[in-house]
Amino acid sequence: MGQNIRRRDVIRAVPLVVFGSAVAGFGRFLLGCSSDGTPMRTQGPTKGEGPATDKPTDGDEFTPGTGEPPVVASEEPPKVPNPQWESRAKQLEGEQQRLYGAVFTLEAPGPMVGKQRSHVPQAHVTVENALPRVTVLVEHVMGKNLLEAGAPAADATVDAAEAGKADASADAAKEAEAGPPVEAGAAPIHYITTVYLRAVVAGKDTVVGLWEFASDDAAPPTVKFTLPAGVTSVVAYEWCTLHGLWKSAALSV
């Protein structure tokens, strides 16, 4: 009789042992140990451990002003309209329209909400030698900071320095034909390529100053423009190769 009881107990225990083994095996599967005993990742790689899958945050991109003097675009009032400036601004505004629609602002950042601190251009007016000037600062990283923007595009390797500093000269216009990176998110690293000003001149909306930055220029990018006569207010614009075109509020001159 005792032998039969032990036999029944064994028979009953078999399914429990099998079930327990299956549960343990499934648990090991979920833990997902690699061949060297290291647990498998359940999230993407962290910073510095491999290709990043997340876009950089505003905190990653923000670079506060350091008090360094701005680049001086011109000491004298420019002659406007400038065909090269108008063409470049039209190119960037057209790309923004294609990708996102409206130009981003502090109040209306669209899909770039949370990026305002590092992207909205800051502009202020001074008068030097009886000439009105506007200094624009964008508190954003530049290319030498090596902040990745995603997969590189084959046609996004033209540096803004090679495109030339945009001014009224024929040489700069010729160099600018190649054009610095345009499409948002296309460059392997991202930075501010272009800062420009729009104002009403002789009743027409006109680009009254434009500067192209090189990817390895100092961060944050800042530039000073001298304004043509008759300008009473200006709006500053900047183009980021990852986050598109942003503008400031209108600034009285």
pLDDT of residue 219 exceeding 70: yes
Tokens of 67: 């008090």
Q: What are the CA-CA distances from residue 1 to residues 14, 28, 231, 253 (Å)?
A: 20, 41, 110, 107
| pLDDT for 214 | 94
* pLDDT top residue among 2 and 72: 72
- Give CA torsion, residues 79, 83, 87, 90, to 10 deg: 60
Tokens of 165: 């500093």
Helix (H) or strand (E) holding 160: helix 160-163
CA angle 223, 225, 226 (to 5 degrees): 155
For residue 220, whether the previous peptide bond is cis, meaning omega lies within 30 degrees of 0, is yes
Q: Distance between CA atoms of 143 and 121, rounded to whole angstroms?
A: 18
pLDDT of residue 171 exceeding 60: no
Q: Distance between CA atoms of 198 and 248, rounded to whole angstroms?
A: 11
- What domains sit in the chain, N to C, each tagged with a CATH number? 1-47 (no CATH), 58-252 (2.60.40.730)
Provide DSSP, 129-184.
TTEEEEEEE--B--GGG--B-SSPPTT----HHHH---SSSHHHHHHTTS----ST
Distance of CA 208 to the CA centre of its chain: 24
Q: What is the pLDDT of residues 97-111, one digit of tens each?
A: 999 999 999 999 999
Closest CA to 221 of 249, 191, 198, 181: 191
Mean pLDDT of 199-210: 96
Q: Are 168 and 184 in contact (CB under 8 A)?
A: no
pLDDT of residue 69 exceeding 80: yes
Closest CA to 59 of 141, 144, 127, 146: 141
Q: Are 199 and 227 in contact (CB under 8 A)?
A: yes
| pLDDT for 148 | 58
* pLDDT top residue among 41 and 175: 175
pLDDT of residue 247 exceeding 90: yes
pLDDT of residue 229 exceeding 50: yes
* pLDDT top residue among 161 and 184: 184
Tokens of 154: 């084959």
pLDDT of residue 38 exceeding 70: no
DSSP state of 188: S
Tokens of 107: 């109040």
Q: Distance between CA atoms of 242 and 224, rounded to whole angstroms?
A: 24
Closest CA to 213 of 188, 195, 230: 195
